[in-house]
Amino acid sequence: MDRRVALIKEFYLGLPTDRVKLEASAFGFEFLSQLQAHGMQLEYGELTLSKVLHKYKLANITQTQMYELLAWHVAKLCNVCLYFDRRANSVLAFNLDNNHATNGSRLIPEVQLAVRTLVEKLNELDCKPLVIASGRGYHIWCRLRAAIANDRLYRFMLHTAAGALLTLQRRGLDPNNMKFTLYPDLRIQDLVSLRLFGSEHAKNQVFSRILVGDDLLDEEASWAYFEDYLESNTLALDTFDKAYDAVVTSATPVIAKAS
């Protein structure tokens, strides 16, 4: 097995693998037949007019088929996006994007400041995050040693995100310029998925490089950092509990907008 596939499988262990959203430039009946081989089911397909990126939600996926999809993923033939478990998860993620309808791929000051603020806060809480460039923003991941109930994860993320949004307002920046999505989110967890590390964005062909400080690592260094993070920075449950108490239990209520 490709070492990169094994790393991805281990990092995202616990996320359901019987369903997936696939983003690819390929389309047509021959491609659909390939996807549906051996009982894999197509729930829906979304074809774009630009013929640049097409999306397919697949279900009833076997472990063998998932390994094949992940091999495509690291070979940059597609993007594999996974859904979160409906009850509890051992990973959480903040998704920060440029919210502009035009020139949406540009990194804007709001996103850059929010990322810095979130990373600083998570590090302060001993919850060192993995920050991955997503194309028009960043995915900020934390990995746990065991699954935690979604409502508890969501409250932690919501309060942490509120602090970042408050920083934007204090600096005179408009939070509405940025889209802030939390995973898992009980309201939308069956509707949205998140792209995994290790591929090129199917639309702009940019690798999902890892951000360390103010520097984006190259592809080789990103894989090395990803492996080291997996081995060294998975959070113990008591560490998460202390962080939760610091930002939720002991916090002053803050009104924030997060989608």
The listed range with the strongest mean pLDDT (25-29, 40-44, 204-208, 244-248) is 244-248
Same fold, 3-82 and 88-249: yes
- What's the pLDDT score for residue 166? 83
Residue ranges of the domains in the chain?
3-82, 88-249
Q: What confidence tens digit (pLDDT) does each residue in 146-178 have?
A: 999 999 999 999 999 988 888 877 878 777 788
CA-to-CA distance for 177 and 244, rounded, in angstroms? 28
Given a cut of 60, whether residue 52 has pLDDT beyond it is no
37: pLDDT strictly greater than 80: no
DSSP the chain: --HHHHHHHHHTTTS--SEEEEEES--SHHHHHHHTGGG-EEEEEE--TTSS-EEEEEES--HHHHHHHHHHHHTTS-EEEEPPPSSEEEEEEEEEEE--SSSTTSPPHHHHHHHHHHHHHHHHTT---EEEE-SSEEEEEEEEEEEEEHHHHHHHHHHHHHHHHHHHHHTT--GGGEEEEEES-TTTTTT--EEPSSSB-TTT--B-PEEETTEE--HHHHHHHHHHHHHH-PBPHHHHHHHHIIIIITPPP------
Q: Into which CATH architecture does domain 3-82 fall? A: 2-Layer Sandwich (3.30)
Predicted confidence (pLDDT) per residue in 68-122, tens digit: 999 999 999 889 999 999 999 999 999 998 865 444 455 777 888 889 999 999 9
CATH code: domain 88-249 is 3.30.70
Q: What integer pLDDT is reported at residue 110 of this predicted model?
A: 82
